[in-house]
Amino acid sequence: MVRAIPSNASDNIYCTLLAQSAIHGAMAGYTGFTVGPINSKHAYIPISRVTEIQNTVNLTDKMWARLLASTNQPSFLHVDEVMKDQVDREIIEIINNSRHIS
Protein backbone atom coordinates (compact mmCIF):
# COMPACT_ATOMS: atom_id res chain seq x y z
CA MET A 1 0.00 0.00 0.00
CA VAL A 2 1.42 3.39 -0.97
CA ARG A 3 0.39 6.45 0.97
CA ALA A 4 1.28 10.12 0.89
CA ILE A 5 0.99 10.44 4.66
CA PRO A 6 2.67 8.64 7.58
CA SER A 7 1.17 5.32 8.64
CA ASN A 8 -1.21 5.09 11.59
CA ALA A 9 -2.28 2.33 13.98
CA SER A 10 -4.85 0.94 11.52
CA ASP A 11 -2.13 0.55 8.89
CA ASN A 12 0.02 -1.33 11.39
CA ILE A 13 -2.80 -3.74 12.24
CA TYR A 14 -3.70 -4.28 8.56
CA CYS A 15 -0.07 -4.99 7.59
CA THR A 16 0.30 -7.38 10.54
CA LEU A 17 -2.80 -9.33 9.41
CA LEU A 18 -1.50 -9.50 5.83
CA ALA A 19 1.92 -10.69 7.01
CA GLN A 20 0.45 -13.35 9.30
CA SER A 21 -1.84 -14.62 6.55
CA ALA A 22 1.06 -14.79 4.09
CA ILE A 23 3.24 -16.70 6.57
CA HIS A 24 0.44 -19.17 7.34
CA GLY A 25 -0.02 -19.82 3.62
CA ALA A 26 3.71 -20.31 3.07
CA MET A 27 4.00 -22.64 6.08
CA ALA A 28 1.06 -24.65 4.69
CA GLY A 29 3.09 -25.17 1.51
CA TYR A 30 1.25 -22.82 -0.83
CA THR A 31 3.21 -20.93 -3.49
CA GLY A 32 2.24 -18.43 -6.18
CA PHE A 33 -0.35 -16.68 -4.04
CA THR A 34 -1.02 -13.40 -2.33
CA VAL A 35 -3.35 -12.63 0.56
CA GLY A 36 -6.09 -10.09 0.93
CA PRO A 37 -9.48 -9.44 2.46
CA ILE A 38 -12.47 -10.89 0.61
CA ASN A 39 -15.89 -10.41 2.23
CA SER A 40 -14.22 -9.34 5.50
CA LYS A 41 -12.12 -12.53 5.69
CA HIS A 42 -8.50 -12.99 4.68
CA ALA A 43 -8.08 -15.35 1.76
CA TYR A 44 -5.31 -16.84 -0.35
CA ILE A 45 -5.55 -15.43 -3.87
CA PRO A 46 -3.64 -17.05 -6.76
CA ILE A 47 -1.26 -14.59 -8.42
CA SER A 48 -2.56 -15.73 -11.82
CA ARG A 49 -6.03 -14.42 -10.90
CA VAL A 50 -4.62 -11.07 -9.80
CA THR A 51 -2.64 -10.55 -13.01
CA GLU A 52 -4.99 -12.04 -15.62
CA ILE A 53 -6.66 -8.73 -16.52
CA GLN A 54 -4.66 -5.59 -17.16
CA ASN A 55 -6.26 -2.38 -15.92
CA THR A 56 -5.61 0.88 -17.73
CA VAL A 57 -5.63 4.39 -16.34
CA ASN A 58 -6.75 7.33 -18.45
CA LEU A 59 -4.12 9.95 -17.65
CA THR A 60 -6.38 12.80 -18.77
CA ASP A 61 -9.31 11.72 -16.58
CA LYS A 62 -10.58 13.84 -13.68
CA MET A 63 -10.13 10.99 -11.19
CA TRP A 64 -6.42 10.71 -12.10
CA ALA A 65 -6.05 14.48 -11.68
CA ARG A 66 -7.67 14.25 -8.23
CA LEU A 67 -5.29 11.47 -7.23
CA LEU A 68 -2.29 13.52 -8.33
CA ALA A 69 -3.60 16.56 -6.47
CA SER A 70 -4.28 14.64 -3.26
CA THR A 71 -0.81 13.06 -3.24
CA ASN A 72 1.02 16.22 -4.40
CA GLN A 73 2.56 14.38 -7.33
CA PRO A 74 3.43 16.14 -10.58
CA SER A 75 1.73 15.26 -13.83
CA PHE A 76 4.31 14.35 -16.43
CA LEU A 77 1.86 14.73 -19.31
CA HIS A 78 2.91 16.78 -22.31
CA VAL A 79 0.42 19.27 -23.75
CA ASP A 80 0.33 17.34 -27.06
CA GLU A 81 -0.93 14.21 -25.26
CA VAL A 82 -3.73 16.12 -23.55
CA MET A 83 -4.79 17.78 -26.80
CA LYS A 84 -4.74 14.44 -28.67
CA ASP A 85 -7.06 12.91 -26.06
CA GLN A 86 -9.45 15.86 -26.31
CA VAL A 87 -9.50 15.61 -30.12
CA ASP A 88 -10.14 11.86 -29.90
CA ARG A 89 -13.10 12.46 -27.58
CA GLU A 90 -14.53 15.09 -29.93
CA ILE A 91 -14.23 12.74 -32.92
CA ILE A 92 -15.94 9.91 -31.00
CA GLU A 93 -18.72 12.28 -29.96
CA ILE A 94 -19.23 13.43 -33.58
CA ILE A 95 -19.37 9.81 -34.76
CA ASN A 96 -21.86 8.87 -32.05
CA ASN A 97 -24.06 11.88 -32.84
CA SER A 98 -24.05 11.09 -36.57
CA ARG A 99 -25.23 7.54 -35.82
CA HIS A 100 -28.19 8.86 -33.85
CA ILE A 101 -29.20 11.22 -36.66
CA SER A 102 -29.15 8.64 -39.46
Q: What's the pLDDT tens digit per position in 24-44?
A: 999 999 999 999 999 988 899
Q: Enter the pTM of the model.
A: 0.53
On average, the pLDDT of the chain sits at: 81
Distance CA 24, CA 44 (A): 10
Distance CA 74, CA 100 (A): 40
Average pLDDT over residues 43-63: 88
